[in-house]
A and B are shown apart, each in its own frame.
Chain A
């Protein structure tokens, strides 16, 4: 009898242990993906749970309070296990010790075999990869233009270089009254103008890591944008609002001739102005002298405070694998960050539909995704100072050279390693 009881207790204990293992719950936070992409996320989670019966995924979509919610959850001891952050936030979180290195959870060989080297570099801080790169976008991925405004301006083709774009800005405005495009002069919470330096092959940092974006060449480039701003060739709201949002809004009203960016703008134009959408021409975007793209990417990270890092790493790796990124790119025009995407046939289809055409142009270009600069330590303060100086130059309070020198001085005095 005693032996039977012992066996029973042991069996119950083992089954409890097994069921406890089955109950490993991974909390997964995405950023601005619900409700539009609920189907994709839920389907992928269901497939992951089927492949990993010992892991249950508890999904929540966060929006503008994502970072604050993340910090609060760490404070309250219930941090999520997998979090969706962009390049800049990942760098900031990693610099401050909020993240576990992905390269400590998944072998470097696996990461290298899965993602583009540049995608991994985007999320590398202090020699460690801190994220599983997810979907991305290219800032200069495609150029969309309004053929009527082009015709009115007398332009026969889209600009192919930044210099041509600047020249066209004047022609379009003078002849049509509409703006040619909306440059990312001072996008909130980042230092978007640094991207123009990168595109022109001008360095952001010196070899010793110090800020170095104040050479005469940098100042000359900024001066060209200052001239455009002062001449009324770019919307004045561009110093106050996010350029891509503003461009998309004004394009739909026939007040901007071109949008430079990803296919995602087309989805909005399709909703707000179907006629313009139908006539929109999609082509390659102009590039700067360095002939490089800038762009951004989302990633999945595992917080230091995660209680289930192994299971979290599994989920992050699953969501960001080649098959799932390609599946996501079928739902929405994102650029996958996986090596396998560049040979995928899904980006080789030809179509006259603007979204399909744009997707085909950029879909396999994930290897070019590069913001052009690494977030410096203490970046919130540094970005604010940089943007204040860019604004001072645009509004004529400082010369371009003085603004950049002031920003460099501030950066080098306040940058945390």
Chain B
């Protein structure tokens, strides 16, 4: 069937504002950023009004030989550990708060509060939690799990700082994913749940055999968002540990940030190349996610 050209023109006219905005703020920076990854573009060149100079793969060679970048990438990949924990927890709590019980609205709102809490405020709060004389050690001491003499300075420990920061990421992301899961849960037809009850399925079986399969698209979306967010973690690390101790929390985005924005010694070329490597890792992991949570099986089964 041929679509009349007037109709086509009309469609593109309506699409144009969005396309222009996307082109200016997404596609152009993306393409230019990728190009910069293959150039030398330092503060000195910038200040002299010189543009980027094409240098091929030099920046990637620099990254390959930089132990700090290796640490940063490794930490970012390790940071993905937060993803399954965060997704399972927020899905589980979404199921719990997806009930019409008194006070449930309050619970939903309370879980969402950390999402809108500024990172600097969260940092101050978690300083109190993770300090050697802080809340966490007080709780552990009260439960006789440790003693004041053996208390840990969580943010100063090479072993624990990583998990301490991860907990902040978990705390900040939890409410956001819970709300997405809640929205997904509310699209599941009630009849399916009722049919499962009639078939004698217990709540556990209903969760794994009805809820989870039907939530696959939402799980895929949340997992992808969470994976990308974990790979791009920056704010909480910057304000809580600044990458330390001994670079144990130094992430790939910190490396990009340091090279691109930390002062007059910036190196846009190297920062862009590092950004490209992070993007490549994100793409690979996203592809794995798509493979794991692909929805065509569900569609076929439905």
Smallest beta-carbon distance A97→chain B, Å: 4
Q: Indicate if the CB atoms of A97 and B241 lie closer than 8 Å.
A: no
Whether the Cβ atoms of B155 and A240 lie closer than 8 Å is: yes
* Bound Cα distance A96, B262 (Å): 14
Query: A362-405 vs B: 1/0 string, CB under 8 Å?
Result: 00000000000000001111001000100110010100000000
Report the bound CA distance from A98 to B46 in whole Å. 9
- From A68, A189, A239, A304, B47 is in contact (CB under 8 Å) with A304
Chain A residues with CB under 8 A of B132: 236
| Partner pick for A379 among B68, B131, B156, B265, CB 8 A cutoff | B265
B8 to chain A, nearest CB (A): 38
- B 246-268 to A, binary, CB cutoff 8 A, 1 in contact else 0: 11000000000010011111100
Are the CB atoms of B245 and A98 closer together than 8 Å?
no
Interface size class, chain B: 20 to 34
Q: Are B241 and A380 in contact (CB under 8 A)?
A: no
Known: A96-B47, A391-B245, A397-B246. A380 touches B265 (CB 8 A): yes
Q: How far is the CA of A330 from the CA of B262 in the complex (A)?
A: 34
Counting chain A CB atoms within 10 Å of each CB, the highest count among B42, B46, B47, B241 belongs to B47
B289 at the interface (CB under 8 A from A): no
- Is B184 close to A, CB under 8 A? no
- Contact between A391 and B263, CB atoms less than 8 A apart: no
A92 at the interface (CB under 8 A from B): yes
Task: Judge if A18 is at the interface, Cβ distance under 8 Å.
Answer: no
Partner of A89, one of B44, B47, B155, B264: B264
B44 near A388 with CB under 8 A, answer no
Q: Which of A188, A240, A304 lies in contact with B156, CB distance below 8 A?
A: A240
Task: Give chain B nearest CB distance to A384 CB in angstroms.
Answer: 7
Whether B264 contacts A391 by the Cβ 8 Å rule is no
State whether B245 touches A384 (Cβ < 8 A): no
User: How many Å from the CB of A377 to the closest CB on chain B?
Assistant: 8
Chain B min CB distance to A157 (Å): 30
Alpha-carbon distance A20/B196, docked complex (angstroms): 82
Of A89, A379, A381, chain B has the most CB atoms within 10 Å of the CB of A381
Chain B positions within 8 Å of A, measured between CB atoms, are 42-44, 46-48, 68, 131-132, 153, 155-156, 158, 241-242, 244-247, 258, 261-266
Ranked 9 nearest A-B pairs via Cβ: A97-B47, A96-B43, A92-B264, A380-B265, A98-B47, A96-B264, A96-B44, A236-B156, A93-B264
Knowing that A74-B47, A96-B264, A240-B244 are A-B contacts, what are 14 other residue pairs whose CB atoms are under 8 Å apart, sorted by A's residue number?
A67-B264, A68-B261, A89-B263, A92-B264, A95-B44, A96-B42, A98-B47, A237-B153, A239-B245, A378-B265, A380-B263, A384-B68, A388-B247, A391-B245
